Chain A
Amino acid sequence: QSALTQPPSASGSPGQSVTISCTGTSSDVGGYNFVSWYQQHPGKAPKLMIYEVNKRPSGVADRFSGSKSGNTASLTVSGLQAEDEADYYCSSYAGNDIVVFGGGTKLTVL
């Protein structure tokens, strides 16, 4: 059960796009289409932003999108806004009733 690998930080200016990667193995990210992304603001509970690789829950802005290629999943935030500044975590089903999270990425809106 190794954690998924995310860059510790990412940044972009308002209106720009930023992509956060999440790298796992063929036993987790690459093996299942059960990759999710969560947004967490300081002092708040996480919020589901993307599920099953590229699906958006109702109420989540369409500026958020997800994708996957091989063992790496990605979250893209388009048209960056100040309120997008937060920590982002990916997670994946890893088989045998196990879930793994990434280490998290702090997104800064410059």
Chain B
Amino acid sequence: EVQLVESGGGLVQPGRSLRLSCAASGFTFDDYAMHWVRQAPGKGLEWVSGISWNSGSIGYADSVKGRFTISRDNAKNSLYLQMNSLRAEDTALYYCAKDTSSAYFIDFDYWGQGTLVTVSS
């Protein structure tokens, strides 16, 4: 059974940093691209960032480019999101999602339950 378990969320002050993690199991992690997708309270889904199986392709939404860094450790079956210079508008539930492709950013067939990030003073 595919499982994606996010962690690392919490309350953080504007301008500070936070690192999210996603532990994957139930599939061959290094065969697939992975993504972070967020959802602000009461709002829609927003793709944040994606990374191919070997970290050779990485993409970011304009809203986070230069502030967030996605990475993965295939030996640990884990996905990460380093979030720096956090803003109030980054407040959201952050989902980890598995792609159906290894190298391309196509679609997300499994999702975690999300970890909540709240940016507030």
Which residues of A pack against B, CB within 8 Å?
1, 3, 34, 36, 38, 40, 45-48, 51-52, 57, 87, 89, 91, 93, 96-104
Contact = CB atoms under 8 A, between A and B. Distances in A.
A99 B112 CA distance: 18
A52 B107 contact: yes
B32 interface: no
A48 B107 contact: yes
Contacts, number: 68
Nearest to B4: A45
B88 interface: no
B95 A34 contact: no
Contacts of A97: 50, 57-59, 105
A52 B113 CA distance: 24
B100 interface: yes
A96 B45 contact: no
Contacts of B37: 46, 101
B106 A52 contact: yes
Nearest to A45: B111
A34 B58 contact: no
Interface of B: 35, 37, 44-47, 50, 57-59, 61-62, 95, 100, 104-109, 111-114
B35 A99 contact: yes
Contact of B59 (A36, A47, A98, A101): A98
Given A1-B62, A101-B45, A48 B108 contact: yes
A89 B108 contact: no
B106 A34 contact: yes
A52 B106 CA distance: 8
B104 A93 contact: yes
B111 A101 contact: no
A57 B111 CA distance: 14
12 contacts: A38-B45, A45-B113, A51-B107, A52-B107, A91-B107, A93-B106, A97-B57, A97-B58, A101-B37, A102-B44, A103-B44, A104-B44
